[in-house]
Chain A
Amino acid sequence: MQDILTLGFLATLLATAWRLATPLIFASIGEVISERAGILNIGIEGTMLMGAFCGFAATFASGSLMLGLLAGIAAGVASGLLFALLTVTVKANQIVVGAAINLLGLGLTSFLFRTYYVSTGRGVEIAPPIDIPWLSDLPFFGEALFRQNLIVYSTVIVTILAALLLYRTSFGLTLRAVGDHPKAVDVAGRSVAAYRYAAVLMGSGLAGLGGAFLTLGHSNQFVEGMTSGRGFIALAVVVFARWSPVGAFFVSILFGLFYALQLQLQAQPLLNISYQVFQALPYLMTIIAVCLVGGKSAEPRRLGVPYGER
């Protein structure tokens, strides 16, 4: 029980949280971009699975980690293209298409994995941990926090880039306007559809990357349904984070922290509380948080509404 309170414990906890948060960070920032443009994509779970599978398949075939990550992103973009085609061009209901993409993602990846790879215990080489020169020498936190692989570190860069893109570029300004006042953008002579396509493709690409992290940056194998609901959690992260990329980063870390804490506390033999209580805690917290931050103020005004409909 005492070791709960040591610095070392906290440091490992944070490191675990960061790793567990990594797929969530990618997926939720992707979803922030997409939702900012007014497109609610609930198909991230399926998209992540496609990214995880294609990333695994590409690295398995080529031996190159980089190719795998690119394949993961490409799989996400392909899934996004299908989604955008149906929701932006055809103007179909976004929830419908998202639900279908989830079914497709789970079905296709499981079917193809079954047909071509069926695990023989053979995996791929995952991204190796890299020390950051002087940060990893810091006492306690250094070793635990700054001995991660490049994909984990890159979450910080992706977060900053996404924030800059949304708030510091004219592209981002227009993109956000597309989510709030698409008519104004249309009147100003820009194509609402083009911006929505861009947002969906970026978002899905990031979700694909988040999936690819699971097979290329964490475990070294593909397992059917291995995203285990992370795509849905990412949806919650977005609302909790009030549609902000930086917020999404920290909320994802918070979720990772809960999960890590849950694992750590289960492993404390002295603690006599049912582990299911800890498992339920993050979900309960999300509901409370969503109620607290609630309000429509931060939500893109035309979220989920195809342009050209009332």
Chain B
Amino acid sequence: MGLCVGARAVRIGVMPLAIAGLLGSGAVAWADQLKMGLLVPGSVSEEGWNRIGYNALKGVEEQLGAEVSYVELQQNPASFAKAFYDYASQGYQVILGHGFEFQDAALEVAEQYPDTYFLISSSDIHEGNVIGLNTDTSQPFYLMGVVAAKMGQKAGLVGGMEIPPIQQAFEGFKAGARSVNPDFPISEAYIGNFTDTAAAKEAALSMIAQGADFVQPNASGATVGGFQGIAESGKNVGTFSIFSDFTEVAPDNILGLYKADYAQGVVEVVRSIMDGNPPQSNVAFGLKDEKVMQFTFRDDGPSSVPEEIRTEIARIAAEIAAGNIRTMSN
């Protein structure tokens, strides 16, 4: 609901632009106002990746008073460059392409708009005005893997599509679990899209039927289906709420929450750009950035993580933050 109200507020703010844009004077009129655009590969109504990008945009709007706008591109690579052009030509100073897939298009457009900053999520790039912002999800997933291996017998991972953000997270999970027990059994399945909640649920149920007692879904919009399946399988299956707060969906199973406040990270980067000292390299967020990445345990659930494991996790998290533990094999 909150999003609904927010979207309406944005709309009212932007309406004069629609008309000004028609008259061809849009860019000039807003020269001093910070304008930020966002490209997302799916629908912001999903409780997942795209919403994280949207929240980042809202964060910049609320904390820096920027005028913001977003466009959903349905993972259609042909439309990426056009959207960058649209924003850049309308005088947007910062454009966030939310996903590695936007990198090629940003590089193409960035040449023609040297004064515009192109931020790319989950990318390591730094070429002139194109800056990668990578949230290393393998780090919190590494911690989940440790918890799974310490508390359970077998883990299952339910992914959406086989793309880097999902794969990296699962890599981290496996590395974490194997750091506890090199032979810890982990099964992995992809449903092949990000919308089929029914498939995500059945994938989770299948894994539980095969003996998994820790199941971690990560499929953007379809993630909720995974939690649903876990919730129906009784209290003995553990999981972590990821990105958003899903405790209402699986109250008996969620051991803790990994919350990504990507917005905070993006706000800091945009602020530094506004202040005239943009990042001189790619930006990587991890457990070291407490504002961006929060990994917490729940105390109100029926099965709670024991104190000694919590202490151990805190120690490992600190090691990861310090750069002493690598959460991915490569």
Contact = CB atoms under 8 A, between A and B. Distances in A.
Interface of A: 3, 8-9, 12, 16, 19-20, 23, 110, 113-116, 118-123, 126, 129, 144, 214, 218-221, 223-226, 228, 259-260, 263-264, 266-269, 275-276, 279
A126 B249 CA distance: 11
B272 interface: no
Contacts of A118: 1, 3-4, 45
B188 interface: yes
Given A119-B224, A226-B197, 15 more contacts: A20-B199, A118-B45, A119-B47, A121-B47, A121-B248, A123-B224, A218-B225, A220-B224, A221-B224, A228-B195, A228-B199, A264-B210, A266-B189, A267-B156, A279-B192
A263 B1 contact: no
A228 B193 contact: yes
A12 B204 CA distance: 12
Given A115-B4, A275-B190, A263 B224 contact: no
Contacts of B193: 228
A93 B192 CA distance: 34
Contact of A224 (B43, B206, B211): B43
B1 to A, nearest CB: 6
B207 interface: yes
A19 B201 CA distance: 11
B45 A119 contact: yes
Interface residues of B, number: 43
A118 B7 CA distance: 11
A268 B187 contact: yes
A260 B46 contact: no
Contacts of A218: 197-198, 201, 225, 228
10 contacts: A9-B209, A19-B202, A20-B202, A218-B228, A223-B195, A223-B197, A226-B197, A263-B191, A264-B206, A266-B190
Contact of B201 (A122, A219, A267, A275): A219
A43 to B, nearest CB: 19
A218 B202 CA distance: 9
Contact of B46 (A119, A144, A276): A119
A12 to B, nearest CB: 4
Given A16-B206, A219-B198, A267-B207, A121 B245 contact: yes
A144 B210 CA distance: 13
A113 B46 CA distance: 11
A275 B245 CA distance: 30
Nearest to A269: B187
B222 interface: yes
Contacts of A23: 198
Nearest to B228: A219
Contacts of B186: 269
A218 B4 CA distance: 26
B259 to A, nearest CB: 13
A267 B206 CA distance: 8
Contacts of A264: 206, 210
Nearest to A217: B198
Contacts of A220: 224, 228, 249
Nearest to B241: A121
A110 B197 CA distance: 15
B124 interface: no
Contacts of B197: 214, 218-219, 221, 223, 226
B88 interface: no
Nearest to B209: A12
Contact of B249 (A8, A12, A123): A123
A120 B207 contact: no
B46 A267 contact: no
Sorted nearest first, the 8 A-B pairs with minimum C-beta distance are: A219-B197, A266-B189, A267-B187, A12-B209, A228-B196, A118-B3, A219-B225, A263-B203
